[in-house]
Structure 1
């Protein structure tokens, strides 16, 4: 009887250890590092599930998921622009979460419907550009107001933007200009702007930060990142381009083949909850959340006050469209100036 009791205790301990081992989650995050870290911490505290978090740009994550198809090293992909999430869904790299999205805003529900449940919208980010007022004054340059302004020769060497191969932000810019001006005209405009670009960065938020620090005069990126820097006291001004602009639908997706599906599903529920999304304000996240109950900042970008295009996520989130545009960018835009890579 005693031996049986000991064996039962050992079995129970083993089952408990197995359950604990199962309560883990590998997350790849395409948001800002501080937001990635805070959410991992909060989720772990609230659920008891251990989170291993790594931060990568959306293009890098898409490449990783393709390389690891059938044997994924991550369980869930959170953040980043929606186009690569749509591509991942269409290629079977992600799986439906079966999370109830009926309480989220319409655009988040549309993302879920578009991907047959494989991606859920978590935020909207409006595309624009930012300039450093002090550097602009020192160089006696006019303030840009439109996309076409960025191609003017007086801005040679003054602009920084990310590389669309690695950055979802920069791909959103590429797709936006194609939708605004038509493909050939957009590529020509991007080449003209490229003649003024001093650096193509890997990260989409890097040009905005460099502008705030005075390392470049103008940076292209998402306006919520710019709001954070302005609120921190940097001498910057935000611009919503006069011709109109595009936007991202940030998303969260569960990776197909994950052995931790239930934990991943809990992550999706958490990052789309009002509590989870409201916490972003603690680290200066000023994008537009998908949960209408989430707290927002009065200085956050407002979709109603910006001239937005009717962004075609189905077309520009398709693999063939993305690959064609990236090929044209490499051939006709990247080499148009003296910009360096970082």
Structure 2
């Protein structure tokens, strides 16, 4: 659904003539809605968005590269893939001048505006029924006791699913086949491969699965939304993480406004709004205020993440996953 977020309170002629911008938003729905509404209210720019997973955005850009003006959200490596296809216009925002180098591409193809990590989001009551402790290792998910009790997003549609695959490759010294083999072992324990990254946390919250492979921010969001039975743990071997990026699209019909949106979402004022959404991803702006209950990314053991290699390996991983792992299950 295309959701219009009309400007509020902007009665001046400057605001009324501010134009429009269309956003492909790869974040949770309430985040997309709140941030586009805030941008529209502040600038008077009529802002519309479509909530899509990173894989879905890439598919839409392939068929209609002029559909959106700006892409906000999704792992930075997916934005690199879009750049490879010629869909990104490099733009170095002055709002990111003080950002750490890990949070921005030197060419300006993307800039990160949030970060979070892969975690295990578990139902304490379901763990108790199975006489299990909350998992603290990737191997814990392979327990026969968890048959059809693990939730995981599909790598082709949700970035977290692919992040999990690349994480396994890193843990196996870059061996892609070892990563595929891990998920072949995990497959009997997976209830379904969902389209959305946040689906698993909701499934775990309802007791439909025992453990979900999910972002720590999504698990915390579910906890704060009322699924108080959930608990977040991390694999001791190390975990993957994302830098959620924003990019100006080359075929944008409203390129100036796309750049304004980029400047705005990278600024301190916008990133201070995360806590009010609430979003439990950590802001990347060093001056932004980190909200209550946001997982402390400095305490998470992370694998060495090479975004270029992660981007270049995506198609190979997904083809292997679909042919060797998920062919026995329907992605829902």
Do they fold alike, i.e. is TM over 0.5?
A: yes
Match 2:127 to one of 136, 153, 159: 136
- Indicate if the aligned counterparts of 1:124 and 1:287 stay in contact, CA closer than 8 A: yes
From the superposition, tell whether residues 20 and 118 of structure 1 become closer, same or farther in structure 2 (CA, over 3 Å). Answer: farther
In the TM superposition, structure 1's runs of 4+ consecutive aligned residues that sit over 4 Å from their partners are: 19-22
* Structure-1 residue corresponding to 2:245: 251
Q: Which has the larger radius of gyration?
A: 1
Distance in 2 of aligned mates of 1:194 and 1:123: 30
Q: Secondary structure at the match of 1:112?
A: coil
- Normalised by the length of structure 1, the TM-score is 0.88
* Structure-1 residue corresponding to 2:207: 214
- 1:229 paired with 2:225, answer no
- 1:78 paired with 2:72, answer yes
Higher helix share: 1
Deviations 1:139-181 (A, max 9, x none): 3334322111111211101001011101111111111111112
- Indicate if the aligned counterparts of 2:265 and 2:271 stay in contact, CA closer than 8 A: yes
Number of residues paired by the alignment? Answer: 316
- Normalised by the length of structure 2, the TM-score is 0.91
Distance in 2 of aligned mates of 1:80 and 1:209: 20
* Structure-1 residue corresponding to 2:30: 34
- 1:291 paired with 2:285, answer yes
Distance in 1 of aligned mates of 2:171 and 2:20: 44
Q: Secondary structure at the match of 2:272?
A: helix
Deviations 1:23-76 (A, max 9, x none): 10111100000000001110011000001111000000011112123xx01101
Show structure 1 runs of 5+ residues with no match. Answer: 1-15
More displaced 10-residue stretch of structure 1: 164-173 or 229-238: 229-238
* Structure-2 residue corresponding to 1:11: none
Distance in 1 of aligned mates of 2:40 and 2:134: 45
Show structure 2 runs of 5+ residues with no match. Answer: 1-12
* Structure-2 residue corresponding to 1:202: 195
Q: For the aligned residues, what is the CA RMSD?
A: 1.7
Match 1:240 to one of 227, 230, 234: 234
Match 1:164 to one of 136, 141, 155: 155
Cα displacement (A) at 1:213: 2.0
* Structure-2 residue corresponding to 1:105: 100
